[in-house]
Chains A and B, each alone.
Chain A
């Protein structure tokens, strides 16, 4: 069974630029999550989708972050404009019931 796929794996941008991350969940998983993991910290949930509807986006900085999950499969997370403090690993996870499976993450560096 293929795991959660994410791209790109690494991205370096300058502050105020925009960036987008892509996630392809495990086939058949209805729930998709985006987490932000700052160096030395545990992952923090940004947004949770159930199929293509948002379940929880309470910790998403909506002035600069946006996410969508078209057709209830793939998802993109966008940051516009990026700030220095957005430097982190962005993890995508998917679940069918109670276990969340994580992708390898996208490491973002904002200079």
Chain B
């Protein structure tokens, strides 16, 4: 079993839709959870960073962690064509340590 699992998609939505991206993880020792966005032929860039359980909001993006069910979610409101990318969830035991990534979900937002 992979430590972090993610539905690879692809996911296609119309512009303006609410997008829900999800991951599950198996290791209860994970404390830090991140969402990265990766455009084609670019390196991943950090979108959201959360510690332990709870919600964190940044503009149109909301990250949610439920440690009881080992479930990580990213919601994108009012999705835009510029949001079209691969979204990677990642987990870590410690700050600044080895990130364990999911395989990524490819998102396409159609105008």
- The residues of A with any CB-CB pair to B shorter than 8 Å are 4, 31, 40-45, 48, 56, 91, 93, 95, 97-105, 107
Contact = CB atoms under 8 A, between A and B. Distances in A.
A97 B43 contact: no
Given A41-B104, A42-B101, A95 B45 contact: no
Interface residues of B, number: 23
Contact of B99 (A45, A97, A103): A45
Contact of B46 (A43, A45, A100): A100
A99 B49 contact: yes
Contacts of B97: 48, 56
Contacts of A45: 98-99
A104 B95 contact: no
Contacts of B60: none
